[in-house]
Structure 1
Amino acid sequence: MLHHLSIGVADLHRASTFYDAVLAPLGYTQVFADDEAVGYGYPGGGDKLCLKLASPVIVPGDGFHLAFAAREPAQVDQFHTAALRHGGRCNGAPGLRPDYGDSYYAAFMVDPDGYRIEAVINAGP
């Protein structure tokens, strides 16, 4: 349904360093970059997430988060580790979330700008 999503960031270098690290384990990479924006997607494809330099940054409140697809639980674990190493704050350690489904494995983080993000694999029905 969505073609791409853009979010505003206060420091493009800090944000792109963070997202380079957390998205790499999930198979995403920078697909473009300039002085005002960095786009992420699958190698050779278009951007699905775009970081745009903004001032002020207004982060959506409760109820909003970005969930990135993983193909295996180890990628979720690596996402979480990379986020902690690059200025993220844990908002839910990697693990099964039975409230969301029997096979819902996810980690929840808050990025350096305050966006709530998640890596998830949901192999169940």
Structure 2
Amino acid sequence: MSLKSSHLNYLKVKGEFKIACSLRIFTQEEIELLKQFGHWFEGLANGDLEPFTEVQKSFVRVFTENMTPQTKHELLWFKYLGRLKLEQENPEKFKLDYSYEEQGFHTREDYYKLHPHRRNRN
């Protein structure tokens, strides 16, 4: 089996890449690229896939020799790995709860007693 065939088979078996971190810092284009090429990036970076083009070899060098990413794909994978690491090392910083909680001095109900015309206002 050729290297290209083994890559295509690897990607077929893996299916769509599931992004394992917050999508907030990624553009829609980056999200689509990760879904499409994420398994390929991962396979090349961790050694599951052997690179067969110069672009792939350069990609592997960036992640095995700690070189500075240059191409769009290298920068995206670097950004993804960085975000993933940040969320895994600091999970408490990414599980923020923005729900409303009554604090005591006066409640929402107290406010509506003073301003009944504001209740259920859209």
Q: Name the TM tier (shorter chain).
A: under 0.3
Higher relative contact order (CA 8 A, sep 6+): 1
Higher strand share: 1
Task: Choose 1 or 2 for highest CA Rg.
Answer: 2
Name the one with the larger helix percent.
2
TM-score by length of 2: 0.23
